[in-house]
Amino acid sequence: MAAGSPAGARGTDRAAAQAYEAARTADKAVRAVQRGVRNLNSAVDALASAQQIQARQAYELAKATVDALTLRAPIGGVVRAVLHECRSMDEATDRVFGER
């Protein structure tokens, strides 16, 4: 079969068509991978946002728990020392407020 013969031309055309189809298939595969990467990036971004929200909520819950468990004195001041052991609550109150 000579290169210039009709049979040779058909073989060349067939090879060109196959090469064209292979290139189209490769392009489709590349586009599919690119879409997958974009979708993966979107998923990673969404996951990061969800983790930030979860961390913020955990912090706020912990802060609320600490605030709820913090004891506050009804009066201001600092206890410096206990000088005498009291036998009753009345005696302790008198000593604190200086009523004796």
- Chain center to CA of 70: 30
- As to burial, measured by CB atoms within 10 angstroms (0-12 exposed, 13-18 middle, 19+ buried), residue 89 is exposed
Record the pTM. 0.43
**pLDDT per residue over 66-79, tens digit each?**
988 888 878 888 77
Q: In this model, does residue 96 exceed pLDDT 80?
A: no
Percent share of the chain, pLDDT over 90:
23
Yes or no: say if 19 and 26 are a contact pair by the CB < 8 Å rule.
no
Yes or no: say if 86 and 95 are a contact pair by the CB < 8 Å rule.
yes
Q: What is the mean pLDDT of the chain?
A: 80
**pLDDT per residue over 2-34, tens digit each?**
555 566 677 788 888 899 899 899 888 888 888
Tokens of residue 96, six digits: 């604190």
The pLDDT of residue 1 is 47
Distance CA 93, CA 91 (A): 5
The pLDDT of residue 82 is 61
